[in-house]
Structures are given as C-alpha cells and as structure tokens.
Amino acid sequence: MKKSLVSVILVASMMLSIGGCGLKKKNDSKILEGNWKADLECEKIVTDELSKDEDTKSNNMAMIDAIKKYADFNELEAIVTFKFNQDGTYSIEPDLEQWNSTWGAFSTAALNGAREYYKSIGVGDAMVEGFESKEEFLGYSIAYTLMDLRIPITKAVFVQQNGKYKAINGKLYINKDSSKDVDITTDYYGTYEITGDSELTVKNRDGVEYICQKE
C-alpha cells in the first residue's frame, strides 16, 4: 500500500514537471540575432488588398490580369531588412531608394495594361461630369489604379523603425522607445516562425508577411 502511494506521488510529480515545461515561455530572442532580408511578394500584397471587397474583387482581378500582359510583378522588388542585435535592440530598414526606382519602371509598363483594361470596359467612351474630355477621365482612372497598386506595397515598405524587441513563443514584441524595456502586455507586433537556421517569417498585426533570409 505504501509503495503504491509512493508510486502515485512520483507519477504525479513527473506530470506536473512535464506540464510546467509546456507552460514555460520559450524565448527565441537569441535565435533571431542577426540580419534578415525580406524580398516582399508584391503581387500577393496587391491581390490580397484588392480582394478584400467582394463587390469589386472580380473587376480588380481582371484589371491585374490586363496589367500583367505588360508589367512583370516578379520585377517589382521591395526589400526590407530586419536587424536583431545581441543587446536586445532591433531595427527595420527598408531600401526606399531601390523601391522608388523599381516602382518607376514597373508603373510605366503597368500604365499600358491599365489603359487596355479601361478601354475594354468602355471608360473614356463618354463624357463624365467634372472632366474636360473623355481622355482626361481615362487618365484619371489609370492614375487611380496605379495608386491602388502602389499604396499597399508602400505601406509594407515604409516600416523604418528601431527600438527593443523580445521573441517569445512565436510572438514578436517591440518597443520603439529604446530607453524602455519591452512590455509583452502592450508591445505586441506580430508573429514569427523560424525554419531551420536561415529562414524567418514575420507577420505583423496588419497581416503583411515578411519572408526573410538570413544574411
């Protein structure tokens, strides 16, 4: 009887120990140390944004298909580098010069696709109040479309910041004030996933995903 009681206590102790390990927070801050470069999937960012409204989704996808005849989304490169330092500080650094240059070349080609799309649905065939000519309205529609393409990518690129960070249990916390410690109750940034030792996926609260390779 006494041996049985001892056995039960030992088993219970082991279970509590295992359970405690499962609840322990896994701090990956050290694993993240280094520079991680993300080459953004620009086409995905655009299509995700333009697919949010079900009423316009079909037309938006048709417009993107027309643009892809002239402009290659694979050449629309946007680069962001995450730097996690040994002292617990971080920085997010976009290559803005590269992005603006790449966008200039892409938008020139995309303009032809947007024009073809709007012509196919009759935009520019009739006068619209507030515009001096059919061509002016067509030009306005094209410019508005290019802005729709640019804004979500630019939003993902313009993330330049620095401060302190913590990476715990797949959640990334950052404080932009480097004079203060990270507070995991208020400083949630997004999620992270480490694959092997060379790939890091970070997804912020806006749903933008950065797939990074270690430099």
As given in the structure block, the two tokens for residue 112 are 């032809």
In a domain, 15, yes or no: no
In a domain, 9, yes or no: no
**What's the predicted TM-score (pTM) here?**
0.77
In a domain, 5, yes or no: no
Supply the pLDDT for residue 23: 45
Supply the pLDDT for residue 3: 53
In a domain, 138, yes or no: yes
Supply the pLDDT for residue 72: 94
Quote the Cα angle for 44-50-52, to 5°.
Answer: 105
Chain mean pLDDT for the chain: 87
Supply the pLDDT for residue 134: 87
In a domain, 55, yes or no: yes
With the CA atoms of 131, 133, 134 and 139 taken in that order, what torsion angle do they form, in degrees rounded to the nearest 10? -70
For residue 173, give its domain range: 23-214
Rounded to the nearest 5°, which phi and psi values hold at 167? -120, 110
Domains held by the chain: number: 1
As given in the structure block, the two tokens for residue 63 are 């417009």
136-162: per-residue pLDDT in tens?
Answer: 989 999 999 999 999 999 999 998 899
Say yes or no to pLDDT of 40 above 70.
Answer: yes
In a domain, 28, yes or no: yes
In a domain, 29, yes or no: yes
Quote the Cα angle for 22-23-24, to 5°.
Answer: 95
Say yes or no to pLDDT of 12 above 70.
Answer: no
